[in-house]
Structure 1
Amino acid sequence: MTPVLATVSPVDGRVYVERPLDGPAAVEEALARASRAFRDWRSTPLERRQELLSRAVDAMVARAPAIAEELTWQMGRPVAQTPGEMRGFEERARFMIAAAPSALAPVEPAPKPGFTRFVRREPVGVVAVVAPWNYPYLTSVNAVIPALAAGNAVILKHSHQTPLCAERYAEAFAEAGLPEGVFQYLHLDHADTERLVADPRVGFVCFTGSVAGGRAVRGALSGRFVGMGLELGGKDPAYVRADADLAHAVENLVDGSFFNSGQSCCGIERIYVHARLHDAFVDAFVETTRGYRLGNPLDAGTTLGPMVRAQAADFVRGQVADALRDGARALVDPAGFPAEAPGTPYMAPQVLVGVDHSMRVMREESFGPVVGIMKVGSDEEAVALMNDSDYGLTASVWTRDEEAALALGDRIETGTVYMNRCDYLDPALAWTGVKDSGIGCTLSPLGYEQLTRPKSFHLRTTS
């Protein structure tokens, strides 16, 4: 009997999607097709590739309402918020398509008499993209569109929680007229995913997921000299300086902590507040949090949906329980959120004070609706605490002083520094991380560098 992928919806616990899993034979067929398709696709003029990809984006945008609703069913984000995923998808896709000509243009050194010299950027071949469920289009688009624009073929393996996302890509590319085999998707288990990425016909691997998953990918590639981009976890900090705009900081940091039920690699998980603002900040933060509505994500009035599965919610509840046992205080009463139900994905947001870095909730990635707040007395103390982490994806500084933000940003160990905003990706800027947050870079013109390889041409003229 063929193994089956079954997507259990966090909305009501029912199976929402079932698909047969592809096995080793399907992996072999997909790689063979991709390798053949790559030979012609890489020679297709860039303008033509841009045209086809733009048509595919048009097709995805035309399906946006249906995509948003099925996304809610698959991973639980409120239907009032899922349309934003497609707006972000479109923004990133169109930016990367438009950036391709300059990013892929040959690099020409200063003229040298008697020589023609330049560096050309060539596609790496077949790119394997392994994408997660939490932002299934926003994470995958970072790799899929620029990989194709650069002339590569792509095989997408999407999360078992969001398999329809891979199928929607395929439908849009087919409608746009993308040549057969240039884009494919596979529904795979872990073993066959490792078989895919380890195959010598794969020229680059883009993985977004957990640190453990990143280690598994790296292990699968250990015997090959092949590039990889690993976008992994985060424990992203915020520092609210004494001169911050209090109302602005509260509004945005509550959203940064609890949007998507906290299931964001760049969501806010720990906040350090200068002593001068600490008490007022905490009071306003808790009041704003209590205004959230936890419930059925298909209800337009819901602002906080279920987590992706009960086990994920129970993990976060365990972090909270351990922190309370060790002396932390919880400031939000779950009774104010009637949909809260232990043992289910429906978890009320929680704000903790009295926390310190000995507690799991301040060190482990929570990936859920909980945030710890600590009082600090100086910029130096805040930076030391922000850097006291195995992760380094983003960090935000809340201040009216741009020079201070820049000076602090130079000292924070992170991939992106924000001032007065958080939990956002600008496609014009490189998306990258340090430490256990991963390696590699997507988005911006720099995102094309890992999806291509430089090839130098050194031509000498003879008389």
Structure 2
Amino acid sequence: MKKLSQLISPVDGRVYAERQYADIVQIEQALAAAAAAQAQWKRRPLSERAAFCSAAVDAMLSMKDEIIPELAWQMGRPVRFGAGELRGFEERARHMIAIAPEALAAVEPTPVAGFRRHIQREPLGTVLVVAPWNYPYLTAVNTIIPALMAGNSVILKHASQTLLVGERFAEAMRRANLPEGLFQNLVLSHLYTSVLIAPGGVQQVNFTGSVEGGKAMQNASFGGFIGMGLELGGKDPAYVRADANLEHAVENLVDGSFFNSGQSCCAVERIYVDQNIYPAFVERFADLTRQYVLGNPLDEATTLGPLVSPSAAEFVRGQIAEALAKGAKALIDPKTFPADAPGSAYLAPQVLVDVTHQMSVMREESFGPVVGIMPVASDEEAIALMNDSEFGLSASIWTQDLAAAERLGNEIDTGTVFMNRCDYLDPALAWTGVKNSGHGVTLSRLGYEHLTRAKSFHLRHEI
């Protein structure tokens, strides 16, 4: 009997869905079908590929009413925010379709008499997308649509926590009448994911997940010269300068810290504030945090849902307890959030002060609703603390001085520098990280370069 992948809902702890894992025969069949479909797909004009992909986006959006509550059951995001993920899905998909003609256009060097020279962008073949549960539509679409636009076939392995998202993608592709085998959704165990990645299977893997997961992806591809795009963890910092618009900074940093219960690779997890405005910032930040409503994500009044699992919540509780034992002060009383229950996935948001970088909450990824806030005396101190991390995905600077933001941004070890905003992916910009936040690029025209290979033509036509 085949083993089952079970989706345990964080809403009530019950099995919400279960599916059989694919076996080796199904994997081999999927790879063969993907290769056959891709051989024909890459020959289709770009305009035809765009029509198919646009139809798939339309099909996905037509399922909105079913997707939103389904998403809440699967990973706990409140239904009042469910439409936002689909808006982001559409924004990224439409943008990547629109820029494909320019991004995939041939590169024409300076003309040389008697020669025809150019560089084409060739598809890689079959791209494996290993997607996470926390933003299951947004993260997956970053690769799926541009991979198809570039002429590749796609195999999707979605997280077990969001099994049904993979099926939604497959249904959207079916409704769009994509060629058989071009897009496939497989339910895979960790072992068989490694088998699929092993040399000869796929030509590119785009993975979003933990640092340990990224290492596993690289180990599975050893010896195969497979392209590898890795978006891994984050411990994203924010720096609030003395000249910042205080109300704007507080409102957006509270949201950037606690949206999706803090379960975002680019969530704000540590904040450094100029000592002159630190007291006012902290007071307002804590007051706004207390306004969250923790509860069942199917309830329209809920603004903070459960974490993905009780174990995830316990990890964050452990970080908070360790910080308090080392001298930190908690500004939020969990008792004011009745749904907070030790041992459950429901966890109240927490704001910590008197924190240091000797505490794990300021160094290790939390992936939950907790943030530490520290005062700083200068730009130099803030930059030093922001860079004191094994991660480097995004960082935000809150100031009214554009020149200062650009100057300080050049000193931060990060993939994206924000000014007066955070926790957002602009599809026109490259999404990338440094250090243990991974490598590779998705989105923007640079994202297409990681889904294609260069092929040079050097043709001498006058002899």
TM-score by length of 1: 0.99
Letter in 1 for 2:256: G
SS in 1 for 2:397: strand
User: Deviations 1:51-106 (Å, cap 9, x if unpaired)?
Assistant: 00000000111111211110110000000001100000000000001111000000
Q: 2:375, 2:273 → 1: CA distance?
A: 5
Match of 2:366 in 1: 366
User: Deviations 1:287-327 (Å, cap 9, x if unpaired)?
Assistant: 00000000000000100000000000000000000000011
Q: 2:85, 2:63 → 1: CA distance?
A: 12
Match of 1:235 in 2: 235
Q: Specify every segment of 5 or more residues in structure 1 that has no aligned partner in the other structure, as ranges.
A: none
1:315 has 2:315 as partner:
yes
Match of 1:70 in 2: 70
Shift of 1:201: 3.2
| Aligned pairs for 1:59-458 within 5 A | 59-458=59-458
Q: 2:315, 2:352 → 1: CA distance?
A: 16
Q: 1:133, 1:23 → 2: CA distance?
A: 22
User: Deviations 1:16-54 (Å, cap 9, x if unpaired)?
Assistant: 111111111111110011011110011111100000000
Letter in 2 for 1:283: E
CA contact (8 A) 1:38 1:126 kept: yes
Q: 1:250, 1:9 → 2: CA distance?
A: 32
Q: How much identity, in percent, do the aligned residues show?
A: 64
Letter in 2 for 1:26: Q
Q: 1:65, 1:394 → 2: CA distance?
A: 32
Q: 2:212, 2:447 → 1: CA distance?
A: 24
Q: 1:4, 1:216 → 2: CA distance?
A: 22
CA contact (8 A) 1:246 1:281 kept: yes
Q: 2:35, 2:120 → 1: CA distance?
A: 21
Q: 1:298, 1:168 → 2: CA distance?
A: 20
SS in 1 for 2:144: helix
Shift of 1:205: 0.4
Q: 1:72, 1:83 → 2: CA distance?
A: 11
Shift of 1:411: 0.3
Q: 2:281, 2:359 → 1: CA distance?
A: 22
SS in 1 for 2:96: helix
Q: Specify every segment of 5 or more residues in structure 2 that has no aligned partner in the other structure, as ranges.
A: none
CA contact (8 A) 2:387 2:413 kept: yes
User: Deviations 1:213-247 (Å, cap 9, x if unpaired)?
Assistant: 00000111121112110000000000000000000
TM-score by length of 2: 0.99
CA contact (8 A) 2:199 2:222 kept: no
Q: 2:199, 2:185 → 1: CA distance?
A: 16
Letter in 1 for 2:18: E
Q: 2:68, 2:95 → 1: CA distance?
A: 21
Q: 2:26, 2:267 → 1: CA distance?
A: 36
Question: Aligned residue pairs: how many?
Answer: 463
Q: 1:67, 1:39 → 2: CA distance?
A: 33
User: Deviations 1:152-194 (Å, cap 9, x if unpaired)?
Assistant: 0000000000011111111111111100000001001100011
CA contact (8 A) 1:35 1:201 kept: no
SS in 1 for 2:70: helix
SS in 2 for 1:111: coil
CA contact (8 A) 2:199 2:223 kept: no
4+ residue segments displaced more than 4 Å: none
Q: 1:64, 1:102 → 2: CA distance?
A: 31
Q: 1:349, 1:175 → 2: CA distance?
A: 41
SS in 2 for 1:81: helix
Q: 2:198, 2:188 → 1: CA distance?
A: 14
Shift of 1:462: 3.2
Letter in 1 for 2:193: T
Q: 1:112, 1:202 → 2: CA distance?
A: 38
User: Deviations 1:396-433 (Å, cap 9, x if unpaired)?
Assistant: 00001000000000000000000000000010000000
